[in-house]
Amino acid sequence: MSQELISVIIPVYNVEQYLEKCVDSIKNQSYPHLEILLIDDGATDSSGHLCDTLAESDSRIKVFHKENGGLSDARNFGSQHASGAFILFLDSDDYIHPHLIESLYGQMIKEAAEVSVCNIMNVYETGESPQCVDPDLYFVMNTDEFLKEYLVGKLVPGSICNKLIRKEIAAQLQFPVGKFYEDAFYHFDLIQVAYKYVVNTKTFYYYYHRGNSITTSTFSKRDFNYIEIYTKFSRYVEEQYPDLQEEMFFRLSYAYFFIFDKLLHVEEYQKLEEYKVVRGYLKQNALKIARNRIFQKGRRLAALFLKVNVRLYRFVMLANERKTKQIH
């Protein structure tokens, strides 16, 4: 196998306790022909200094210090400065299996694909759980097949960090600066320029769930970006892929549920205009959600609870959260 250069792009912001483990997991890859771009996004802890120290230990590491612009801006900066024929984005508090890059690169070359995907292991403080429970699946997909699995979210996780992307594809794309849920926006553009994908479900990417991440924090007005992007997806699917309406409805409704659950953590959630909008959608579509078999049974029942009594739904939701925290 030829040794083409692969660029690994890591935005760095106030992650001094996680960064070294992340970088070590890249340095120890079985595929050695890498450049590791550490983008110090104006960190206010010792992360920037740590980047420089790590660079002294491995000539493949390049460090860039820039003013804070957010995750999307740092990723875009890294992509613009990447020299490799392939791009891998990695979050600085996560880490990867020693064979991730070799595996993704090998299957990409074998299938002449533009995007290569692996499974994600969700890492909690008290345990781990894979995104896809079957670790031995392998698929080559065209755009509509990939889009279907992306919308369902089991075989194709929504993160961009478990995907190796050809540079000529990545060069056409930008992460949306100032938006939450930037990976979803990136995927929307990705499916319009990439036409062949290869997916295996080996759990090679380790996604560490921190308590203060966007996905676990309480409601912010920018959380509505999640509904915004999947509304955009919905219009696109309706026009271009009408056979995927059920999967699209699932993903859009999931986005509304996700934001609704965040809203219910706010003390006086009933007074928020966003609450009225999201509740209106879920009440209007409760029966359709209950009939959608992609949703798990508990979520389908929750939609019916919500149609009848929001307080009951909130009680059940918070109780399930406490139970989940005990499990993880």
**pLDDT confidence bin for 327, thresholds 50/70/90:** very low
- Residue 14 region, left (φ>0) first, then alpha (ψ -120 to 50), else beta? left
CB 93 within 8 A of CB 14: no
Backbone angles phi, psi at 40, to 5 degrees: -75, 110
Residue 244 sits at φ, ψ, to 5 deg, of -105, 25
* Domain annotation for the chain: domains and CATH numbers: 6-208 (3.90.550.10), 221-327 (no CATH)
Q: Residue 237: exposed, middle, or buried by beta-carbon count in 10 A (0-12, 13-18, 19+)?
A: buried
Residues 6+ positions from 219 with CB-CB distance below 8 Å: 259, 262, 263, 265, 266, 272, 274
Q: Is the pTM of this model over 0.75?
A: yes
What are 213-232's pLDDT values in tens digits?
544 567 888 999 999 999 99
Q: Please list, in sequence order, all residues whose beta carbon lies within 8 angstroms of the beta carbon of residue 276, skipping any fewer than 6 positions away.
A: none
The helix-helix angle for 245-263 and 224-240 (nearest 10°) equals 170
Burial of 3 (0-12, 13-18, 19+ CB in 10 A): exposed
pLDDT tens readout for residues 90-114: 999 999 999 999 999 999 999 999 9
What would the mean pLDDT of 21-40 be, rounded to a whole number? 98
Q: Is 78 exposed, middle or buried (0-12, 13-18, 19+ CB in 10 A)?
A: buried
Please give the pLDDT value at position 214.
Answer: 43
